[in-house]
Amino acid sequence: MTQRPPHSITRMWRDGKLTTIVLFLPPAVVLFTVFVIWPILDAAHLSFFKWSGYGAVTNFVGVKNYSVLVANPIFHQSLLNSIKLILASIFLQIPLALALALLIYRKTSVNTAFRLIFFAPYILAEIATGLIWSFVFDGDYGITAQATAALGTDPIYVLADKHFAFLAIITVIVWKYFGYHMMIFIAALQAVSTDLLEAAEIDGARTWQTIIYVKLPLIMHAVKLSIFFAIVGALQVFDIIIPMTNGGPSNSTHSIVSYLYTFGLAQLNVGYGSAVGVVLFVLCITSAFSYKRLVMDGRARR
Amino acid sequence: MNKVSLPATLARATFLSFIAALVIMPLVATVLGGFKTVGELRASPFGLPWVWHFDTYLGILGSPTFWNFLGNSLVISLTAVALTLLCASMAAFVFAQIQFFGSRYLQSYLLLGMMFPFATAIVPLFIQVRDFGLLDNPLGVILPQTAFSMAFAIVLLKSFFEQLPKELFEAAHVDGCGYIGFFFRFTLPLSTPILATVGTFVFVQSWNNYLLPLVVLNDRSLFTWPLGIMQFRGEFIVEWNKILAFVSLTILPALVFFAVTQKYIVAGLTRGSVKG
């Protein structure tokens, strides 16, 4: 941006630019500052105190909130759960989404119908999704009840079982978001020029060859972006976990956000909750920037 | 077009139908579940009801609290949409139309909002909302919601405004139309597709939001539907038929809304992702 000579302010005033800036910018900037930036700065400040939310903030405890957090096994579990979610996204959800996108990206009415069906879970509220699936996984009513009844064994309560509960949550998250990734891939595939595909066909390329050598390289950017969204999404899972397991059994299925809610906000441990928030913030920002640096920009340089 | 063999076509159709069934089955089971009794639900959770019981659905539809939840959600979501569209399009207009010192910095500053989830700062946000006296006030949900949608809305709107023909403004300017007049008389009316896209996204986000209302609203009469449904679930924990009926009644409007607006939703998604 070029710096303007000093008299430009008066000129901007006369042609109405300044008035427009002064009237149009503040609502967005003020709202954003008050409700987004200020709380995050406040979190950084409060994370060094022990505070119940009432009265003056005086009980400075240094980095104690952070050291307690870093040593907490439940927090470790929630980090591990986030990593599991990211891996499930990369190795299960995104390949599935990619396969489906390749099958139905062409604009036909049947494809459109499938596309709408696959995308529908994305639009559902997480809370509703969680409730629906806690019915499906209910050991007395749902799918496992059917299976165990057929086999004549004792009912299995998937969501109350330490070994299966988080797997169930992963299943639901894959179910809910694969259509979202599929849509991103479909948009990318539709942007691939048909000339290239025709050229490949004329050269005698088989279907799988066009996929591997033409289509995939051309939509790699979308795949990388998709993985990025999966990482960011995994770091903020909350609404699905609450109706399904509420973090249980024995705190084994927490996400970082549900951990923050349960141990910071619900008990009004303001300092501790803020510390979790700051850690989450740092995780998000560093993973966003380093992913962008290492993966997204790598393509441009090549 | 590739020549595709019959087995390949069959395999493709089977695979697609299988995945589609996995998507649809839980939803159908939910809707049908509301027509069953608890006993039947236990015996046949996924099949068609033996007898169609309408009383569970009618009971919920006849309860004023249900409509109250939906009404609260609607007021909050619509206000958030209106406020986001107004504030974000004004800011985006300035960024797109007027060059001024600091414009870049301000835009990067606002972009920060797309980098982290709002749950990050939920504890201080709660304190903030409380100190403003906005607990148990719809504004306590609306304002933070608007603030967190701002970054994404500004990015999409600005890129759209920049594509509007520059000659238009020059012509209007010659006719004595200032920036503000131009914004309301030309920019906004010409931007309905993108406003619809952004509006739909903000609406869905706000309508589905759980954490923010959970933190801000304590008074049951102000509950949004996700809070209401969780409370309902707490009351009827073993009566799955009631819970499923309640869920169905909230997802059906969502699915209808989706069918009507999917064009805008998909546009927003792909726009966001193409831009990166």
The predicted pLDDT at position B32 comes to 93
A74-301: CATH architecture? Orthogonal Bundle (1.10)
User: How many beta carbons lie within 10 A of that of residue A221, not counting itself?
Assistant: 16
In a domain, B198, yes or no: yes
Q: Token pair of A39, please?
A: 């709380």
Residue B188: what are its φ and ψ, rounded to 5°? Answer: -60, -50
Average pLDDT value over all residues in chain A: 88
pLDDT reported for residue B261:
83
B contacts of A38 (beta carbons < 8 Å): 124, 128
Contact call for residues B190 and B254 (beta carbons, < 8 A): no
Number of H helices, E strands in chain A: 18, 0
Window B:251-270, CB contacts with A under 8 Å? 251, 254-255, 257-259, 262, 265-266, 269-270
Q: Which residue of A has its CA nearest to B209?
A: A125
Closest to A145 (Cβ–Cβ): which among B45, B247, B257?
B45
The predicted pLDDT at position A55 comes to 82
Q: B250–A123: do the CB atoms touch at under 8 Å?
A: no
With the CA atoms of A61, A67, A69 and A74 taken in that order, what torsion angle do they form, in degrees rounded to the nearest 10? Answer: -140
Q: Classify burial at A296, counting beta carbons within 10 Å of its beta carbon; exposed 0-12, middle 13-18, buried 19 or more.
A: middle
Q: Is residue B261 part of a domain?
A: no
Q: Which pLDDT belongs to residue B35?
A: 94
Classify residue B107: in a domain, yes or no. Answer: yes
DSSP state of B112: G
DSSP β-bridge partners for residue A49: A60
Residues counted in chain B? 276
Contact A118 B23 (CB under 8 A): yes
- Cα separation, A74 vs A95, in Å, equals 31
* Confidence check: pLDDT of B15 > 90: yes
Res B176: pLDDT: 83
Reply yes or no on whether the pLDDT at B274 is more than 60: no
Alpha-carbon distance values, A4 to A1, A7, A20 (Å): 9, 8, 18
Neighbouring CB atoms inside 10 A of A49's CB total 19
Q: What is the pLDDT of residue A295?
A: 85
B23 → closest Cβ in A120, A135, A191: A120
Interface contact B147-A34, CB threshold 8 A: yes
Which residues in chain B have their CB less than 8 angstroms from residue A147's CB?
none
Task: Residue B62: count other Cβ atoms within 10 Å of its Cβ.
Answer: 10
Q: Which domain holds residue B111?
A: 63-239
Lookup: tokens for B43: 């015996």
Distances (CA, A) of B147 to A40, B143, B239, B269, B273: 13, 6, 39, 20, 21
DSSP B213-258: HHHH---GGG--HHHHHHHHHHHTTT-HHHHHHHHHHHHHHHHHHH
Residue linked to tokens 């979308």: A222
Chain position carrying tokens 């609607």: B74
Q: What is the mean pLDDT of residues B188-210?
A: 91
Report pLDDT for A170. 96
> Once rounded to an integer, what is the mean pLDDT over residues B234-256?
88
What is the reported pLDDT for B4? Answer: 65
pLDDT category at A72 given cuts 50, 70, 90 is: very high
pLDDT mean over B210-232:
94
Q: In whole angstroms, how far apart are CA B255 and each of A119, A122, B260?
A: 11, 10, 9
Residue, of B166 and B183, whose pLDDT is higher: B183
Residues 88-107 on B with a CB inside 8 Å of A are 88, 90-91, 93-94, 97-104, 106
- Cα dihedral B36, B41, B45, B51 sign: negative
B106: domain CATH number is 1.10.3720.10
Task: Compute how many other C-beta atoms are within 10 angstroms of the C-beta atom of residue A294.
Answer: 9
Kindly report, residue by residue over A187-207, the tens digit of the pLDDT.
Answer: 889 888 888 888 888 888 888
Is B120 in contact with A28 (Cβ distance < 8 A)? no
In this structure, what are the phi and psi dihedrals at residue A60, rounded to the nearest 5 degrees?
-70, 125
CA atoms of B201 and B207, how far apart (whole Å): 10
Indicate the average pLDDT of chain B: 89
For residues B243 and A189, give the distance between their C-alpha atoms in angstroms, rounded to a whole number. 40
pLDDT at B191 over 50: yes
What is the DSSP code (8-state) at residue A268?
T
pLDDT at residue A257, rounded to an integer? 94
The count of domains in chain B is 1
Over range B81-91, report the average pLDDT: 96
Considering Cα of A219, then A220, then A223, then A224, what sign does the dihedral take? negative
ipTM for the predicted complex: 0.89
Please choose, from the candidates A46, A84, A96, the residue with its C-alpha nearest in 3D space to the C-alpha of residue A66: A46
Q: Do B251 and A239 touch (CB under 8 A)?
A: no
pLDDT confidence bin for A158, thresholds 50/70/90: confident
Cβ-contact A117, A262 below 8 angstroms: no
Whether the predicted pLDDT of A58 surpasses 90: no
pLDDT of residue A5: 52
Work out the average pLDDT over A20-26: 92
Q: Which two tokens stand for residue B136?
A: 């148990």
Share of chain B above pLDDT 70, in %: 96
Q: Do B247 and A29 touch (CB under 8 A)?
A: no
pLDDT band at residue A59 under the 50/70/90 scheme: confident
Residue B206 domain-assigned (yes or no): yes
Across the interface, of A141, A179, A265, the residue whose CB is closest to B122 is A265
Residue A274 pLDDT level (bands cut at 50, 70, 90): very high
CB A219 within 8 A of CB A241: no
- pLDDT class of B271 with cuts at 50, 70, 90: low
The pLDDT assigned to B1 comes to: 45
User: Does the bond joining A155 to the residue before it have cis omega, within 30 degrees of 0?
Assistant: no
Residue A302's pLDDT band, with cuts at 50, 70 and 90, is: very low
Asked if residue A19 lies in contact with residue B180, where contact means CB atoms within 8 angstroms, the answer is: yes
